[in-house]
Structure 1
Amino acid sequence: MAIISIVLPTFNGERFLRESVDSCLNQTFRELELIVVIDGSTDKSEYIMQQYDDPRLVVIKTENRGQAEAMNRGFREASGKYWSWSSDDNVYMPDAFEVMWNYMQEHEEFAAVSTDGLIIDEKSRRIGYQEFTWQCFLYRADVARTIPVHRSEARILEDIDFFLRLKHYGGPVGRISRPYIKYRVHKHMVSHTRIKERPLISAKLNYEYITSGISQGDMEAMFMDRLSQCALHRAYDTMDGIMAFAREKAVPFLNALERKNLFLRTPVGWLQNRIHIAVRSQLGKIRSRLKLLHYLTLSQWSFHNSND
C-alpha cells in the first residue's frame, strides 16, 4: 500500500503531461501512487499514459466534468495516508515528496505542508520565484476526509478554496521556504484562458470565507479589486454579475461599489485602472525575479562550498 497518493487530473494536456508524470514517478520517495484522471481529453493523453509500465500508476478515464470532479474521482481510489495533487503542466523537484513527508513526520501538529516554487515558462526557462505556493503540498488524508470535497463552484480557484477550508477545519499548514516545484506559466493554462470568469467566482468565494469566518479580510476592498480586474479586460458581463451579487447580499458599501462600477466603464476610469494594475503587476514581477536571483545565487554559493 502506498504512503502518499498523488492525483493528477488532465484535460487535453498532452504537451507537458509526460514531463509532469515523470516528475511524480521519479521521486526519491518511492512509496507513492500516482492516479492520473483523464477528464474527457480528446488529444493524445491516453496514448501517452499507455506507454508507462509502473505498478504505482493508476489511469482513470472519465467524461469531461471539470477539475474538481476529476480530483474527487481520483481521491476515491487513493490508498495513501498522505495526499497531494498536481497539474499536467507542473514539474516536481526529485526530492519534493521526501522532504515534505519528513517534515510531516516531525510536525504532527500540522494538517499540511506547502513549499515555495520556481516559475517557468513554456520552454522551461526560470522566470520567477513564488513563495508559499499552493502548487507543491502534502496533507493528511484523514484530515482531508473531514472537510467537504473539491467543489465545482470553485472552478479555476480549486486549490485556494480547498486549502482555506483545510486550514479552517483541519488545522495549520506548515511552510518549507525552498522551491520544490516548477510552476509553469503559459497562454493555454486555465487561469489565463478563463481569466474573465475568475473575478466573479473569487468574489463569491471570498464573501463566503469572510462571512463564515474561514478567513479574514476587507470585504469592501475585495469587491473593489474584483471589479477592477474585470474592467481591465472590459469584461462588463462579469462586472454586472459582481454587482448583481453585491445587491443580492445587500453589502453595506453598495453605493460606493456602484460609483466604482460606473467610473471603471468610462475611458478615464479604464485608463487609470489599467495603469494602476500594470504598475502593481510589474512590481510583482520585479520582486519575483529578485527572489529568483537571490535563490540562484545562494544555490551557486552552496554548490561551490560543498566542492571546496
Structure 2
Amino acid sequence: MVSKPKVSIIIPTFNRSNFLQSTLESISKQTFKDFEVIVVDDGSPSNEAELVCREFNFCHYEKIENSGGPATPRNKGINLARGKYLAFVDDDDLWYPEKLELQVDILEKEPDFGLVHSYCDCIDEKGNLTGAITGRPGSPEVKHGDCFIKMIGNWTVMMPTPLIRTELVKKIKGFNPFISKATEDVEFFTRLSLHTKFWFIDKALVQYRVHGGNISGNNENYKNLPISLSRVAEDAYLDNRITLDDLFLIQRRLYFKFSNYDGKHLLPNVREARLKILKRSYSFWDRIRFIFFGLRLNLKIALQAR
C-alpha cells in the first residue's frame, strides 16, 4: 500500500511552461522531501506543461477545461490532495529550500495554529532579485495569531507562502470560483482566519515574480472585493463569530480602503452592500444603529469628495 505524503503542493497553471519548469525545480530542492505536487492545467492550448511535469517524479498532472482563473484549478487540486497539509504556489513563483521544513515543524508543534506563512522577496521576469519585498508588515504581530479583525480589508496572506492543515481547507470548501479572479485568494484566507490562528514567520521563504502577466496587477479586478469581504463579515456576525461593533468597524474600513481603487464603482457597491445587510436577520435596534452608521459614512464620503 502506497503511503500518503505529508504535504500536497497545488500549482494551477496556464500556458507558462517556462516559468512552471523553474517553479518545479525550486520545489525539487526542498530539504523536506515528503510531498506530492499536483499541477492543474487550466486548459492550456498546448501540452507543454504536461511535458515539463513528466521530468519530475513527484509531480501529478491534471488538465481541465479553461475556467478563466485559478480558483477552479486550485479546488481540483484540493480534491486530489492526499497530504495532511496543503501548500499553494503559482506557476511563476519560487521557493527557498527550507520553506517546507520550517513550516511543517511549526504545524506539528503548534496544534492551535492551522496556517503558517511568511513574506516574499521579489524577483523580475528573468528571476533576478529586485531588492524589494512584499507581504511583510511593519509589525510581525499584525499577521500572527487571531487575524480576522486585523486582516479583513487590510492585507492578505501571500499566496505562495502558506502551509495549511488540509482539514481546514476542506471545512471552508476551498476557493470561491464565483467572485472576480485575483480576489479569490483574499476572500479564501479571510474565511479561513475565522476558523484558525495564523503563524507568521518573519522571514522570506518565497521568491515572488513580478511581471506584466500578474493577475493581481490589474486594479479593475478589485472593484467588487468590498462586496465579497463584506459578505464574509456579515456571515461571521450572523454566526456569532464577531460582534456588531466589529462588523461596523470592518464595513467602515472596507468602504474607505477600496475607494482608492475605483471611485465610480465603489459608491454603487457600498449602497448595494448596505441594502443587503439591512435585509439580513438583524434586530430592530441593530438596523437603526446601522442606518445611523451609514448616514455618518455617507457624510464622510461626501466631504472627502469635495
Q: TM-score range by the shorter chain?
A: 0.7 to 0.9
- Confirm whether residue 37 of structure 1 aligns to residue 44 of structure 2: no
Q: Pick the aligned partner of 1:17 from 11, 20, 34.
A: 20
Relative to the length of structure 2, the TM-score reads: 0.74
How many residue pairs align between the two structures?
Answer: 257
Q: CA deviation at 1:209?
A: 3.0
In the TM superposition, 1:1-308 aligns within 5 A as 1-42=4-45, 44=46, 46-51=47-52, 52-65=54-67, 66-123=69-126, 124-129=128-133, 130-131=135-136, 133-135=157-159, 136-154=161-179, 155-169=181-195, 171-193=196-218, 195-200=219-224, 202-211=225-234, 212-213=236-237, 216=246, 217-231=249-263, 236-237=264-265, 239-250=267-278, 252=291, 253-255=293-295
Q: CA deviation at 1:128?
A: 1.7
Q: CA deviation at 1:247?
A: 4.2
Evaluate the alpha carbon distance shift between residue 192 and residue 260 of structure 1 in structure 2; reply closer, same or farther with a 3 A threshold: farther
Tell me the SS of whatever aligns to 2:262: helix
Task: State the distance in 2 between where 1:255 and 1:121 align.
Answer: 46
CA contact (8 A) 2:258 2:266 kept: no
1:43-82 deviations in Å (ceiling 9; x for gaps): x5x3143133333101100011231111111111111111
Relative to the length of structure 1, the TM-score reads: 0.74
CA contact (8 A) 1:224 1:260 kept: no
Task: State the distance in 2 between where 1:157 and 1:164 align.
Answer: 11
Evaluate the alpha carbon distance shift between residue 225 and residue 173 of structure 1 in structure 2; reply closer, same or farther with a 3 A threshold: closer
Larger helix proportion, structure 1 or 2? 1
Q: CA deviation at 1:11?
A: 2.2
Q: CA deviation at 1:245?
A: 3.5
Task: State the distance in 2 between where 1:8 and 1:109 align.
Answer: 27
**Where does residue 300 of structure 1 map in the other structure?**
none
Task: State the distance in 1 between where 2:202 and 2:19 align.
Answer: 26
Q: CA deviation at 1:249?
A: 3.7
Structure 1: any 5+ residue segments left out of the alignment? Answer: 270-308
Evaluate the alpha carbon distance shift between residue 237 and residue 12 of structure 1 in structure 2; reply closer, same or farther with a 3 A threshold: farther
CA contact (8 A) 2:12 2:41 kept: yes
Tell me the SS of whatever aligns to 2:223: helix
Percent of counterpart pairs with the same letter?
23
- Which amino acid letter does the alignment assign opposite residue 47 of structure 1? E
- Which amino acid letter does the alignment assign opposite residue 210 of structure 1? A
Q: Say what the alpha-carbon RMSD is for the aligned residues.
A: 2.6
242-251 vs 78-87, which moves further: 242-251
CA contact (8 A) 1:247 1:254 kept: no
